[in-house]
């Protein structure tokens, strides 16, 4: 099993020394450099760069940039996505983002983590677990989503939250670690 297959299986893998993974990251960084250096008003070329980088990019995306990721090909984004400045997606595992998702500034989606054991961590080993974000989710400024988390459709993640476990549908969560504050209901809903 190669290092990329280990990562996809959720096993410890060598992210720092494997030539194949390093080559994939270098290719992604070249595209990210081009994207981040292209003027914001040149929307069509910027989106084309992202389409060449990401596994899937739906219709009507807006990326304010800068944007950073590890590989790109593990990221799938639905229609009408909005990302404000400084979005970071560490996509050693699959990241699936639904339709009509809004992401505020300085958000991190982190599929990767490291062993607590210093000896293994110092060997450059890490693990990666997928992240899933449902349709109609709003993620507030400075939110950090950790490996293996799923966020249910219609939920709102309050600014500064650290999301360490799954979030059900249609709730407001906030805090560190993030916890459910209340359902999205009543006056919150259009009608």
Closest CA to 171 of 162, 160, 180, 159: 180
Give me the active site residues, please. Answer: 114
Q: Give Cα separations from 59 to 46, 62, 79, 139 (angstroms).
A: 14, 10, 5, 20
Number of H helices, E strands in the chain: 4, 20
Sorted by sequence, the CB contacts under 8 Å of residue 22 that are 6+ apart come out as none
Q: How far apart are CA 114 and CA 120, in angstroms?
A: 8
Q: How many CB atoms lie within 10 A of CB 130?
A: 18
Four-residue CA torsion sign, 74, 48, 140, 186: negative
Distance CA 114, CA 104 (A): 26
């Amino acid at each position: 099993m190669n290092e990329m297959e280990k990562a996809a299986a959720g096993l410890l893998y060598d992210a720092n020394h494997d030539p194949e993974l390093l080559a994939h990251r270098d290719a992604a960084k070249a595209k990210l450099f081009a994207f981040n250096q292209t003027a914001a008003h040149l929307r069509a070329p910027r989106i084309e760069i992202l389409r060449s980088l990401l596994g899937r990019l739906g219709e009507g995306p807006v990326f304010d940039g800068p944007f950073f990721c590890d590989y790109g090909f593990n990221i799938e984004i639905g229609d009408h996505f909005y990302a404000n400045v400084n979005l970071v997606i560490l996509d050693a595992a699959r990241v699936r983002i639904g339709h009509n998702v809004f992401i505020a500034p300085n958000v991190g989606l982190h599929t990767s983590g490291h062993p607590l054991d210093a000896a293994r961590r110092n060997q450059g080993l890490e693990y990666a677990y997928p992240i899933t974000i449902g349709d109609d989710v709003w993620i507030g400024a400075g939110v950090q989503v950790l490996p293996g988390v799923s966020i249910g459709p219609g939920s709102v993640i309050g600014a500064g939250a650290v999301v360490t476990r799954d979030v059900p549908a249609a709730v407001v969560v906030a805090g560190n670690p993030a916890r459910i504050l209340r359902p999205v209901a009543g006056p919150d809903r259009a009608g």
